[in-house]
Amino acid sequence: MSIKIGSMFAGIGGFDLGFQNNGFEVSWAIEWDKKCQSILKRHFSHSDIKGDISEVNSSDLKNVDIITFGSPCQDLSHAGRREGLDGSRSKMFFEAIRIIGDLNPSIAIWENVTGALSSNNGNDFSAVLNKLSFNKKRKVAYRVLDSKYFGVAQRRRRLFAVSCAEGIDPRKILQFENIKEKEFLHDSSSMENSSCFSIQDVRSIDKMQNGKGWSSENISYTLDTKATQGIAMLTYGFKPGQSSAARTDGANLEVCPTLEAGGGGNNKPAIASFGGGECIARRITPEEAEALQGFPSGWTEFGLKDNGSQVKMSNMDRFKQLGNAVTVNVASWIASNVKKAYSN
């Protein structure tokens, strides 16, 4: 008998794919964005895909063992207006709590930006933990995980909170005991003589970037909706800091910035090539962004309508979807821990 999972605010299925890769059955997914829905219908054709969570009745959902959700984070993000849980988007968290309360899964997993920890002076996160505990009927643990420790070349710190029914220890799901993060890190050997560097903002690479510039780690910046990140490829004789063409914080390392979700025009990730101190930049491809988030190549190329016809995605659509996604590798690691918890 397979362990069943349902996901809310599913996006393009980062949680779903990570759990499916570990043998879980994706029973249903809730996602309001029509284009993301089509991606889910393409890859999870046997799952029940539903729309706006505020219009979903719990009685219309099959009982599942696990529920994952990454409720909208714009009102909690350091990059947003910090309206907190009262914001029009982040308050959708309470819709998720409604469904979890009705279905009472063994495990519920919430993902969000680290800004949730400090939103409203910490009061919002206190409310989140209280809601996830359901008046102390469930145990809750939380932890910040960084994608760079899970086999992708992207620095992406995200907050995960796990709520468990009686008999399951949420700390086991997040492996609080004896964890060594470096065990998960891809090869990060010295790149002193390398020709590849990570850059955070390529839109105005000919001038200082208000604190944005070259990576100080062997890791990409977080991919985001703005999609301004890139990779600098050196052709000869150039190292960060040797030219006024870009700011450097003193390192020459290989990892990509955090992927974000929005942007248009030239607001896309890029790869820059340098020759004699001069820079030529190109955008990273959607396939490269997919790799940075742990998705198979072409995952976001198109979706499917109910009648089976294709929904072609623009590059802007794909960058936005990937910038909002949960890194598959991290979801897969969590899923493997959930599987162990069930086997024990």
Q: Which residue has the higher pLDDT, 299 or 235?
A: 299
Asked whether residue 203 falls in the same domain as residue 273, the answer is yes
Asked whether residue 156 falls in the same domain as residue 192, the answer is no
Domain count, the chain: 2
In a domain, 319, yes or no: no
In a domain, 25, yes or no: yes
Which residue from 259, 261, 234, 263 is spatially nearest to 246, judged by alpha carbons? 234
Q: Is the pLDDT of residue 55 over 70?
A: yes
Q: Which residue has the higher pLDDT, 313 or 181?
A: 313
CATH number of 52's domain: 3.40.50.150
SS3 content of the chain, % helix, strand, coil (to 5): 30, 25, 45
Q: Is the pLDDT of residue 176 over 90?
A: no
**What is the Cα–Cα distance from 305 to 24, expressed in whole angstroms?**
24
In a domain, 294, yes or no: no
Asked whether residue 192 falls in the same domain as residue 180, the answer is no
Which residue from 33, 56, 69 is spatially nearest to 102, judged by alpha carbons? 56
The reported pLDDT for the residue numbered 344 is 74
Q: Which residue has the higher pLDDT, 1 or 128?
A: 128
Domain of 47 in residue numbering reads as 4-185+325-343
The reported pLDDT for the residue numbered 247 is 33
Asked whether residue 122 falls in the same domain as residue 224, the answer is no
In a domain, 173, yes or no: yes
Mean of the per-residue pLDDT values of the chain? 77
**DSSP characters over 254-275:** -BBPEEES---TT-S-EEEEEE
The reported pLDDT for the residue numbered 57 is 96
- What confidence tier does 60 reach under pLDDT thresholds 50, 70, 90? very high
| Collapsed DSSP state (helix, strand, coil) of residue 49 | strand
- What confidence tier does 77 reach under pLDDT thresholds 50, 70, 90? very low
Q: Is the pLDDT of residue 271 over 70?
A: no
pLDDT in tens, 182-238: 444 433 333 333 344 555 565 544 443 434 454 545 566 677 766 666 655 543 333
Contact 4, 317 (CB under 8 A): no
Asked whether residue 161 falls in the same domain as residue 199, the answer is no
At which of 235, 253, 284 does a domain end? 284
The reported pLDDT for the residue numbered 124 is 84
Pairing of strands 66-69, 4-8: parallel
The reported pLDDT for the residue numbered 203 is 56
Question: Is the CA virtual torsion 263, 268, 269, 272 positive or negative?
Answer: negative
In a domain, 307, yes or no: no
In a domain, 92, yes or no: yes
Q: Is the pLDDT of residue 317 over 90?
A: yes
Tracing tokens 């909690």 back to the chain, one arrives at 76
In a domain, 304, yes or no: no
Can you read off the two tokens belonging to residue 211? Answer: 């604190």
**pLDDT average, residue stretch 35-60:** 96
Q: Is the pLDDT of residue 101 over 90?
A: yes
- Helical packing angle, 34-43 and 315-323, nearest 10°: 80
Asked whether residue 39 falls in the same domain as residue 126, the answer is yes
Asked whether residue 156 falls in the same domain as residue 221, the answer is no
Q: Is the pLDDT of residue 289 over 70?
A: yes
* Side-chain half-sphere CA neighbours of 247 within 13 A: 14
The reported pLDDT for the residue numbered 256 is 62
At which of 269, 284, 299 does a domain end? 284
Asked whether residue 141 falls in the same domain as residue 257, the answer is no
Asked whether residue 165 falls in the same domain as residue 238, the answer is no
Asked whether residue 180 falls in the same domain as residue 280, the answer is no
In a domain, 320, yes or no: no
Q: Which residue has the higher pLDDT, 335 or 289?
A: 335
Asked whether residue 172 falls in the same domain as residue 252, the answer is no
Asked whether residue 55 falls in the same domain as residue 101, the answer is yes
